[in-house]
Amino acid sequence: MDDDLSRLSRSFGPVAAAYDRGRPGFPAEAARWLVGREAATVLELGAGTGKLTRELVALGHDVHATDPDADMLGVLQKALPDVRTSVAGAEEIPLADRSVDVVVAAQAFHWFDHEKALPEIARVLRPGGHVAVCWNNRDARIPWVRKLWNILTDQPQLAHAEDASVDALVQSDLFGFVDEQSFAHWQHVDRDSIIDLVGSRSYVSTLEVDEREALLDRVRTLYDDYGRGMDGMKLPYDCECYRARVNDRPDARPEPARDEPSVEEPGDAAQAGPTEPPTDGSGTLLIDFR
């Protein structure tokens, strides 16, 4: 990870509350595809404030949530006090070898040092286990969304980092075929949450105070220019998901028979949600803020 990405990766603690209020969650269908339908022991890396954790717990999985930022993890702990947590990064996982069925990361895999993290992930996975990662991605085809996006300081290195992280998984000899699927879902937004959504972006939160406030004022002006704006509206997302089984290792020792979490084979999972986002008669609103 280069110095700029490393700096951005450490930017979330001061905006943890805004992140939790403003960021979209993840659909249950995506969580089910990522982990499987059977109850599993799950390690979540980069769990943040628990956006995906909530869905995993609701599906009946035994989750151990980790994040390198104690402030982000503190929000998760308040919402999910029964979930085990550790302040830790993906590069040094505080779990024993072959101790979990699934390792999952939502909106976080691109921040990892993959040369260190992928061997660690493979180490803690039981034989037959798998790693799964996902991101909520935006669609800026709608004119007002393009206007909003033009206000922001776009960071192409973040999009590149996401693609590069998937490539790192595909090219790793520690894991097998990488399956992928996407799931449509929507987020309710209003005047306050759109500011939290924008303000919790890493490259916005790290701006100088005056520059950041000027940018947020431009977002408020755009909101006000739309009259009713986004009150009661929904922003569509595509949750893009990837998963791959860990390859057998020469040092892997036989384990007692157990029920493996079921994972659909490629192509089995149906696209979640309608193919076209809903409208309120004034057009569809699409955006994603990472």
CA distance 220 to 27: 28
Phi and psi torsions of 162, nearest 5°: -65, -50
Nearest C-alpha neighbor of 200 from the set 12, 9, 7, 1: 12
Instruction: Give me the percent of the chain exceeding a pLDDT of 70.
Output: 73
- Per-domain residue ranges for the chain? 3-136+156-186+234-245
Pairing type for strands 179-189 and 233-245 reads antiparallel
Kindly state the helix (H) or strand (E) to which residue 134 belongs, with its residue range. strand 125-137
CA distance 288 to 145: 10
Q: pLDDT-based confidence at 10, cuts 50/70/90?
A: low
Determine the pLDDT at residue 252.
52
What would be the CATH architecture of the domain defined by 3-136+156-186+234-245? 3-Layer(aba) Sandwich (3.40)
pLDDT tens string 78-135 = 999 999 999 999 999 999 999 999 999 999 999 899 999 999 999 999 999 999 999 9
CA distance 57 to 80: 9
Half-sphere exposure of 18 (CA within 13 A, CB side): 19
Determine the pLDDT at residue 183.
96
Q: Is the model's pLDDT at 28 over the cut of 80?
A: yes
Q: Is the model's pLDDT at 75 over the cut of 60?
A: yes
Give the pair of three-digit tokens for residue 249.
């290792």
Q: Which amino acid is at 130?
A: H
Give the pair of three-digit tokens for residue 199.
């303000």
First CA to last CA distance, the chain: 17
Q: Is the model's pLDDT at 174 over the cut of 70?
A: yes
- What are the residue ranges of helices labelled H in the chain? 3-9, 16-22, 28-35, 53-58, 70-79, 114-124, 143-151, 156-171, 191-199, 202-205, 209-225
Helix, strand or coil for residue 22? helix
Q: Is the model's pLDDT at 230 over the cut of 80?
A: no
